[in-house]
Amino acid sequence: MSDSQQPEPVSPAAAPRTRPLTETPALAKLAAELLQTPSMLAELSEAELRCVVSYLRLVTYGASTSVFSQGDASNTGYLLLVLSGDVRVEAVPFAGAEAVDVSVLGPGNVIGEMGLIDGAPRATTCIAVTPVQAAALSRKGLDIMLAEHPAVAAKLMIALAKRLADRLRALDEQLGLYAKLAQDAKAELERVTGPSRR
Amino acid sequence: MSDSQQPEPVSPAAAPRTRPLTETPALAKLAAELLQTPSMLAELSEAELRCVVSYLRLVTYGASTSVFSQGDASNTGYLLLVLSGDVRVEAVPFAGAEAVDVSVLGPGNVIGEMGLIDGAPRATTCIAVTPVQAAALSRKGLDIMLAEHPAVAAKLMIALAKRLADRLRALDEQLGLYAKLAQDAKAELERVTGPSRR
C-alpha cells in the first residue's frame, strides 16, 4: 500500500489484515453501542452485546480504497460494522451499465452480511470515502460463537435474517414499481407507434 | 368451514388450528427427511433435525382454501414446510395489477419464512391447490427452541438467512434486468418520437 498523499484511483480490494477489536477497548465499547440500535441487536442484553463484540476484529481502510468489489468471490465470508468514516456503496445494475451510487454509509451501518451468510461473491462495490475503521465478523468467528455462545449466535442470526427480510420486502416493492413503469412504457410505445406493433 | 363438495371460491385465510407434528410419527419422520436437503438444513445431524421437528405443528388446508393472503397482518408469524399437496403462490406486483402466478410448490418447500422472522404482513398470496398438510414453525416455537436448544436454533436461523440471501441475490438480478428493459424502452421511445422528448 502506498503512503502517497496525492489523489489516486481506488485501490483494489484485498483480504484485509485484522486484529481483535477488544485490543482497542474504546472501539469495542463503540461497537457495542452501535450494535444496540433498533435495526440491529436492540433485543440483546449488554452482556450479550459484549459477547458479540468479543468475536469482532478491527479492520481499517485508507481513503479511496476498495472495501468490497461487486462480483469478488475471494474477499467475502464476513460482514463489517462501520465504526468511523464513510463508505460509498455502488452497484452495476446490469452488465455494461455504469456504476450507480446506492448510498453512503457511516458509523453504525452494517455491510456485507450476505457474504457472511453464504460466502457468495459480493453483490455491491463498497469504497472507503474517508479513512474507515470497521469491525469484522467472519464466518469463522460466527462458527466459534455458535459453539461457545449458541443463544447469542441465534439472536444475532435472527437480527441479520430480519434485516435481509426488510431488504427483500423493499426490493419486492421496487420490482413492482419497475413492473408498473415497464407496463406504462409499453402502453406509451403502442400509443405512439400504433396498435399493430406488439 | 364448509364440507360441501361443490366448487367454491377460495376461502379466506384464518389462523389455522394446529397440533404437535410428533403426534403423527409418520409425518414427523417425513418432515425430518424433507428438511434434510441442500437448500434447507442439510448441515444438521439427524438428532438436530428431530429436535427441529419437535417444535413443528401439523396444519391442514382443504383444496382451494387460502393459506396466506398478501398484505394480511394478522395471519403471520410462522413458516410452513409443505408435507403433502400443492400450494400456488400468487403476487400482485403493484396496486391495481392482476395477480401473477409465481410458482406452485409441493412437498419439501418452505413458505412464509419472512413472516416467521419479522411478523410483518404476508408478501404473497398462497392457495392450497389440493388438500395440503404442512408443518408450521411459529415465532413462539422458535423462541422456545432458542431457550431449550440454542445451537439448533442458531443453525436453523443460518439456514433461513441463507435462503433469504439467495432470494435477495436473485431479486437483485431481476431488478437489473428490469433496469435494462426500462433503458431499452426509453431509447426506443426516443427513437420513434425524436430526441426532443426526454
If one looks up domain A19-193 in CATH, what number appears? 2.60.120.10
pTM here is: 0.85
CB B84 within 8 A of CB B133: yes
Judge whether residue B3 has pLDDT over 50: no
Distance CA B53, CA B23 (A): 11
Kindly state the cell numbers that stand for A27: 472501539
pLDDT band at A48 (very low <50, low <70, confident <90, very high): very high
- What is the mean pLDDT of the segment spanning B92-102? 85
Model pLDDT for residues A84-97, shown as the tens digit of each residue: 999 999 988 888 88
The residues with which B138 forms a beta bridge, in sequence order, are B78
DSSP state, B75? Answer: S
Which residues in chain A have Cβ-Cβ distances shorter than 8 Å to B172?
91, 123, 171
* pLDDT score recorded for residue A37: 82
Check residues B96 and A128 and name the one with the higher pLDDT: A128
**Would you state the pLDDT for residue B73?**
92
> Which residues of B fall within a CB distance of 8 Å from A48?
none
Residue B195 — very low, low, confident or very high, per pLDDT cuts 50/70/90?
Answer: low
Q: In the structure, what pLDDT confidence band is assigned to residue A4 with cuts at 50, 70 and 90?
A: very low
pLDDT band for position A33 (cuts 50, 70, 90): very high
pLDDT tens column, A95-142: 888 888 889 999 999 999 999 999 999 989 999 999 999 999 999 999
pLDDT mean across residues, chain B: 88
- The lowest-confidence range among A101-110, A146-155, A181-190, B12-21 is B12-21
Q: Give A-chain residues touching B120 at CB under 8 angstroms.
A: 165, 169
- Which one of B91, B123, B161 has the shortest CB-CB distance to A157? B161
Smallest CA–CA separation between A82 and chain B, in Å?
A: 21
Residue B2, pLDDT > 50, answer: no
Tell me, what DSSP letter sits at residue B12? P
Interchain pair A94, B151: CB under 8 A: no
CATH number belonging to the domain at B19-149, selected among 2.60.120.10, 3.40.50.720, 1.10.730.10, 3.30.2350.10? 2.60.120.10
* Other beta carbons less than 10 A from residue A96's beta carbon: 7
Task: Give pLDDT tens digits for B10-56.
Answer: 665 556 688 999 999 999 999 999 998 877 787 888 999 999 999 99
Give CA–CA dist A175/B91, Å, rounded: 12
Specify the higher pLDDT residue, B193 or B159. Answer: B159
Rounded percentage of chain B residues whose pLDDT exceeds 70: 90
Question: Domain ranges in chain A?
Answer: 19-193
| Residue A151, all three cell numbers | 443463544
Q: How many Cα atoms within 13 Å fall on the side-chain side of residue A43?
A: 13
Q: A–B: how many Cβ contacts below 8 A?
A: 136
For the segment B169-196, the average pLDDT, to the nearest whole number, is 82
What is the Cα gyration radius of chain B?
20
Query: What is this model's ipTM?
Result: 0.85
